[in-house]
Structure 1
């Protein structure tokens, strides 16, 4: 047996064992086996559902990896499938846990709003800071107006070559004011 086939089989069988263990311990929260994220620790139902979904996914996915190993696919194809599959399995488990926890939270009655002061937010300092920054920018543009090129490059392609141009007035003043 080639090393690559043995390696691929080892990975596939390891994920099979992980999936089976996840299914075996899905009914009891623990710190060692299964999907261990915040949602699953905050809800027993989220733990159970996420570990059931994750365990089933990884058992099925590991069988696909074992078949890939036995058919002799390239290491690149195997590793790509492994990465995509593990990310998909984690994504499925997290999505199930999140949805279960959120539905559980929504089913609880909301507490009464406590009496007290209304929270007020003062945005004036942040607005003032933005206006000061805009003013400094416009002052810098005015002081260096003669040094600015006409037309101005405003966009570059993936290779770093300029491919978008505007007049100096629009590129240096108009667009920044709109943003």
Structure 2
């Protein structure tokens, strides 16, 4: 595979095609893709003084406009996909692997006390449904599906489906089949 940029890899997830710079700009009419584009630019220029200030300012504007609270410090792997436009909160210290889908209303946050104090680590190919809450120093394994409205504050093994509040884990080798398309 040629050396595609992380933005091209993110946009590939939506279309299943490798896009030129012009085609990426055209896709930015979609608020989800537009935010991802701005987010990735803010990440890229985090260590450059003038461009850092510019892209952080632009990112802040679009955080308010679109309702996404994702910061450039957040480690998110390539192939990131936002399923729907709407409120979304991801703690800057959370880590998210590649080819992950996140729907609207999701909170990925810290827990300040107790045995799971800390921030979530979400591995590769995880699908997180609408209004799911993932909190604490926990790990969500590869190929896991977090169902809509689930509350997860415990480790989830790879190849699992998590449902409910309180959440229950169901093993499944094909948990994300048909949910995570156009993988990088």
- Alignment TM class, shorter chain as reference: under 0.3
TM-score by length of 1: 0.22
**Structure with bigger gyration radius:** 1
Between Structure 1 and Structure 2, which shows a larger proportion of strand residues? 2
